[in-house]
Amino acid sequence: MSAARLWLLGAFALAAASAPGLARGEEGATPKKSASPGKPAAKTAKRTAPATSKRAAAKPRTVAASRAWHTPTPGKSAPVDDAGRPMLTLQALNMPEHVTLAASRETGGFSAEDLDRAAHLLRDPRSGNEHPIDPRLLDLVYRVAVRFSAHEVRIISGYRTPRHGRHSNHAKGRAIDLVVPGASDEDVARFAREQGFVGVGVYPTSGFVHLDVRDRSYFWVDSSGPGKRSRTRGILADLATKSDARAVARGEHGVGPFAIATDVDGALAAARKENEALAARGSASDTAATGDDDDDDDVDDEAADAP
């Protein structure tokens, strides 16, 4: 299936699901008379049904579009490079574009040219603005794609132009909202949570998973729908702490604030010290960590920007 056809499929599913009258009949239609005049109950039911139709139809509208996004293309498998290593294909759902990127190792690793190609695909579709993509974010997405043998990863949202008063990893090139065709959002989130130094948000009503890279893991669920006020609930704080500690043991570290420094040796020593402290904290205690506004900087406006 071509990129244009996939984009049209998602758009059609969303439009068809929200069209009035398809599942319940036109609200303005005149109800048919009952065959039994002495039984007005059925007629009353028809009159009262439209009163709750908007609330009842809200979830099916979202599910219909989400099903299209989650359905893999028949007969299509993940592309591989000359060495037989899986490649990463990113397919935008808000425009008919895609890129296929070759990883340099099993856990990811992409060239500067491919990072630029990814940044262009992940640009803000509203403004056209682009921003460099954090290589660790693309590595995370690659590991997810390989884990589920995905022939492509479908992008709901990548970079977003910063808005006044908002603090989002999307505005830093560190976050992606995505769908992995053929895999459930719950399974994708479960795997991503194991990677360490990540933000993982599940949006069951909108039908996507948010992934980002950050200095301390935080996991959440948001049941709000597209364009609605966020209803976020932090979860699995103890798992977040343990995942970060395991990542440190593998020699990995979180994403710190951007800074320019001239003392490189001093900066590396400080980073090692911080990672050692995190590992000790994670192994010494299983006490659940708590998320705050600084850790959870993407939670407040995810659903509002979903398509």
Q: What is the CATH number of the domain that holds 175?
A: 3.30.1380
CA 250 to chain centre: 25
**DSSP codes, 34-102:** PSSTT--HHHHHHHHGGGGHHHHHHHHHHHHHHHHHHSPPTT----B-TTS-B-EEEEESSSS-EEEE-
- 3-class DSSP state for residue 283? helix
Structural domain containing residue 201 = 88-237+292-305
- 3-class DSSP state for residue 203? strand
Establish if 266 belongs to a structural domain.
no
Which residues are registered as beta bridge partners of 98? 91
Establish if 109 belongs to a structural domain.
yes
Residue among 121, 175, 188 nearest 149 (CA): 188
Establish if 4 belongs to a structural domain.
no
Element containing residue 145 per DSSP (H, E) = helix 135-147
Q: How many domains does the chain have?
A: 1
CA 23 to chain centre: 29
Establish if 76 belongs to a structural domain.
no
Residue among 293, 296, 298, 91 nearest 175 (CA): 298
Establish if 144 belongs to a structural domain.
yes
pLDDT in tens, the chain (307 residues): 455 555 555 444 433 333 333 233 333 333 344 444 454 555 544 444 444 444 444 443 454 678 889 999 999 999 999 999 999 999 999 888 999 999 999 999 999 999 999 999 999 999 999 999 999 999 999 999 999 999 999 999 999 999 877 789 999 999 999 999 999 999 999 999 999 999 999 999 899 999 999 999 999 999 876 766 777 778 888 899 888 888 888 878 777 654 444 555 665 565 556 555 544 544 443 333 323 333 345 654 443 333 3
Establish if 211 belongs to a structural domain.
yes
Establish if 279 belongs to a structural domain.
no
Angle at which helices 237-249 and 185-193 cross, to 10°? 50
Establish if 259 belongs to a structural domain.
no
State pTM to two decimals: 0.67
